[in-house]
Chain A
Amino acid sequence: MRPKSGQEQMEWIDAYLRNALSPEEREAFEKEMNTNAEFALEVEFMQQADSVIDDFLLADLVAEIHAEKVEEWHTTEPRPEREAPVIPLQNPGRTQVPWWKWSAGTAAAVTIAFTTYITLSPIQVGDTLNQTLRGGEARISEQPSRICFENFYAGRSFVMTQQPSHAIPRLQQVIDCEVRPYFKDASKWYLTVAYLQDNKPEEAEHMYQEIMDNPDFSYDISWLDKQKISWQIRIAKWFGKNENEETE
């Protein structure tokens, strides 16, 4: 039987919505709901209130997790390096060094610096696609399907965020898509980088060789990036080989 006071009615509806009524009580409740429009509106309001409370709690939970993640991203993302202090070139009382020593030393330093640079510096996985999309003559006429397009962008973003295991399957799918060669070629380059990030130098080398052997390759890779990838593949293979020998 439907309670008379509003407060007791609220408790009754609450118990129904939480499935806390006995089968007989439930039957009586539903009978009341089906015959009394005013009561049905009360039930509807309580359901709406529960739904809004759930939405509020979910938004609260996402906001809490989001705040943590934003802090994490902003502390791990690269920040501009501090300016190095200026060191005067002329130190008082320094001894004169012969010119040939200077030259040899400088050449050695430049070689070491360049080797270190191409070994350690990241490879460009940049914004060239957007420029191509916007360009006049290079404007695309035929387009990848939606999924290929999403995979392409997601794959590239995963390479940029150093998540090769997510990037590799997506970029492989783009290569298998019926898309303009430009997208396939760009995906091959990103895949090469992803393989290297994933410590798979053989796959990276294979893909890179495929790129080098293709005279019609349409994605523009800078000379420096080619040097970097080639060198980094060699280093990764050398380290991999040494590790294998040690484990044997």
Chain B
Amino acid sequence: MQNFKVLIGTQSQEKLIARLRSNDRRELNEAIRDVYNHHISPVRYFVMQNGGDSHDADDLVQTTVLNFVEAVRKGSFQLQEGTTIEAFLFVLAKNRWRNTLKQRGLMRDYVQEMEATSGGQDSWDASAQRIMEEREEQERYIQLFKLLGERCQTILTAYRRDGLSMKEIAQKMGFENERVAINEKYKCLQKLKALFRYET
């Protein structure tokens, strides 16, 4: 048989990881799209073949991509030789889906089989579990941030999302001047601090 081996493209995977770590929002946007376009379809089919419908699959895809991108950006995921992005996404999704099935009181044969045959948790499973726990913790704080309301959210995200200066934020929000914008930002941060304190 003709030797038709194609390398999995470690270099392109490394580039994708680098782009996912970028602070340039446009580049990050494109990189996330690449994850959707080239690496996520096995996750959807995995769910749909194992007790889930297309809505379950869509939800799991979103959670998996978010967990993965956060793990990449925070350094929890490192690409190692012989590993692929798809395989790690698959492990993340499988762990999450296993929890979902358990919560629903279901445990499909397939997942039981996978657990029985993979010889217990390996380092990737442990890593996936840790990433999921970190994500749950972050989600609690994101929910607190959302309690601030749209006005505070816009003021606080304008610099980090769009790189706007306080003067530009003042113009965007219709404030009299830059000092008013700074004062508003200070008030929003004080509210956020109070929410964090209440939570802890």
Contacts and interface: CB of A to CB of B under 8 A. Distances in A.
A binds B: yes
Given A10-B189, A58-B66, A153 B46 contact: yes
Interface residues of B, number: 65
B61 A55 contact: no
A122 interface: no
Interface in A48-81: 48-50, 52-59, 61-63, 65-66, 69-70, 73-74, 77
A143 to B, nearest CB: 4
B90 A210 contact: no
Residues of A contacting B: mostly? helix
Nearest to A200: B4
Residues of B contacting A: mostly? helix
A62 B62 contact: yes
Chain A interface size, under 10 / 10 to 19 / 20 to 34 / 35 or more: 35 or more
B192 interface: yes
B70 A207 contact: no
A56 B157 contact: yes
A211 to B, nearest CB: 12
Given A62-B66, A66-B61, A169-B6, A48 B196 contact: yes
Contact of B8 (A45, A54, A170): A170
B65 interface: yes
Interface in A103-138: 127, 130, 133-134
Most B C-beta atoms less than 10 A away, residue of A127, A157, A170? A157
Contacts of B176: none
Contact of B87 (A7, A66, A147): A147
Contact of B196 (A7, A45, A160): A45
A74 B62 CA distance: 15
Given A7-B183, A11-B182, A133-B109, A53 B8 contact: no
A151 interface: yes
A52 B2 contact: no
Given A7-B182, A147-B82, A154-B86, A210 B160 contact: no
12 contacts: A6-B186, A52-B141, A58-B66, A61-B32, A140-B117, A147-B83, A149-B117, A163-B41, A165-B6, A166-B38, A172-B4, A172-B6
Interface of A: 6-7, 10-11, 45-46, 48-50, 52-59, 61-63, 65-66, 69-70, 73-74, 77, 127, 130, 133-134, 140, 143, 146-147, 149-151, 153-154, 157-158, 160-161, 163, 165-166, 168-170, 172, 200, 202-203, 206-207, 210
